Amino acid sequence: MKPILWVALAAGAYAQQGNAQQQNQEIHVLPVQGNVYMLIGDGGNITVQTGKEGVLLVDAGLAAMSDKLLAEIRKLSDRPIRYIINTHVHPDHTGGNARLAEAGKTFTGGNVSGDVRDPTEGAAVLSHENTLQRLTQAKLPSKGLPTETFFGGVMKLSHFFNGEGIELIHMPNANTDGDSIVWFRGSDVISAGDIFDFTSYPRIDPAHGGSVQGELAGLNRIIDLVVPEFRSEGGTLVIPGHGRICDLADLAYYRDMITIIRDRVQDMIKRDMTLAQIKAAKPTEDWDPRFGSGAGPWTTDMFVEAVYQSLAQAKK
């Protein structure tokens, strides 16, 4: 399937899901730790960091829920939205970009003592360069496109924001080629985007540079950053793209699951089994009751096919 067509189909599926299921739902706010909160009920999870310098968001939810989301953010802080960080291209994480950015106010040249008074100048939208390219291909309105991007492995905000350092870390070729996580170093919270979706198998997209090997590398990188409080519990907390707040134990469980599925599919490829035969063998069967789906925008069969495609491409 052509990359631009895939994005368009995904956007349509998420938009329908948002219009049909999300508009009447409530958004719930959960304190995480430090000055970081998780907002659920608006497509993907949204991370909010607040303080005297303003509000920083990781992801922007669905377009249809933007006004409800703004109302909840204003309950947390009366300061303007300064930054919106997109972890990846999917519409349930980027659909609210334009509305939320328009409601915000950026800084002038990184000088935190002054801000832009022009009402047309909204919050800065940050992402990896590849995410900007994908959103441009998907014809996202220009007001919702990232305004600042990075090419390398890490982008650090040039100054402490609300009392802590914040890093954007690129996870190459995970779900897509533009995935990033966001590390709040003072609050000790990581916003993982859909690299870590605790409600579903990861949405690996080989057409946009995604691969199961990159997915596992991304999970292992997050695990390297996490420091547990006791054994594998507590300590650094992780906000997944979907699902509840997690810690190292949850990450390791998810990583081990994907590793076993990867190894099973890889072994079947070595035995020259076709994709249809691999699907029939049900390499995910152990975890399907928890993470599988037979319908919707991301099914178990789609996940197995994505794993197969990424491994088959690597074999060539």
Please tell me the predicted confidence (pLDDT) of residue 17: 46
What length is written for the chain?
A: 316
pLDDT value for 294: 96
Pairwise CA distance, residues 216 & 306, whole Å: 14
| DSSP annotation string for 239-289 | EEEESS-B-HHHHHHHHHHHHHHHHHHHHHHHTT--HHHHHHH-TTGGGHH
Which residue is listed with tokens 């950026």?
A: 106
pLDDT at res. 316: 63
> Exposed, middle or buried by CB within 10 Å (0-12, 13-18, 19+), for 135?
buried
| φ, ψ of residue 103 in degrees (nearest 5) | -80, -10
Q: Which residue ranges make up each domain of the chain?
A: 3-315
pLDDT digits (tens, 9 = 90+) for 229-280: 999 999 999 999 999 999 999 999 999 999 999 999 999 999 999 999 999 9
Could you confirm whether domain 3-315 is CATH 3.30.450.40? no
**pLDDT given at position 41:** 92
This prediction has a pTM of: 0.90
Which residues are registered as beta bridge partners of 47? 38, 58
Nearest CA to 22 out of 33, 13, 9 is that of 13
271-287 pLDDT tens trace: 999 999 999 999 999 99
Low-confidence ranges of the chain (pLDDT < 50): 1-20, 110-117, 119-120
To which residue do tokens 């870390």 refer? 169
